[in-house]
Amino acid sequence: MIRAALFQSVRCASRSVVRTQLPASRAIAPCLSVSSTLYTRAPRHSGIRCYSAPAGLSKTEVEGRIMDLLKNFDKVKDASKLSSTSHFTSDLGLDSLDTVEVVMAIEEEFSIEIPDKEADSILSIDKAVNYILGQPDAH
C-alpha cells in the first residue's frame, strides 16, 4: 500500500508541469528566437506524513499536571505530603468517593476516558502517571 502511494505520487509529480514567464531582465539574448516561457516542475507533494517531533507527553509533564491538580483539590488536607509515590487513601487521606473525583478530574485534565475497571486500579500518583503515559491520545 505504501509502495503504491509512492509510485502514484512520483507519477503525478512527473506529469505536472507549470509554465512560468521569465522576467525581461533574464531574457537570454534578444537576437535569438527563444521563447521567454520556461517550463518547470510543480512542487512535489508526498502522500506520506512525516512527524518532526516525538508525539505524546513526557513523564515530568504528566506528573506535574497531576500534582497541580491534587494541590488544587480541596479534599487534600496536607499538600506537603504530595510526592510522585503518594497513595490517595493512606498518604493524602482521601476516601473512595474522593478517589473517584480525582480520577474524573484526571480524565478531564488529559481529555481521555478511563474505563471503570482501570479507574479502580488507579490509587496513587505513579499509577495515574503510568496510565496516562500509556494512552496515545492523552494531551
Q: Could you list the active site residues?
A: 95
In the numeric block, which cell numbers belong to residue 43?
A: 512542487
Rounded distance between C-alpha atoms, residue 49 and residue 3, angstroms: 14
Closest CA to 105 of 65, 50, 136: 65
DSSP 90: T
Going from the C-alpha of 123 to that of each of 7, 23, 33, 82, 129, the distances in angstroms are 52, 71, 83, 14, 11
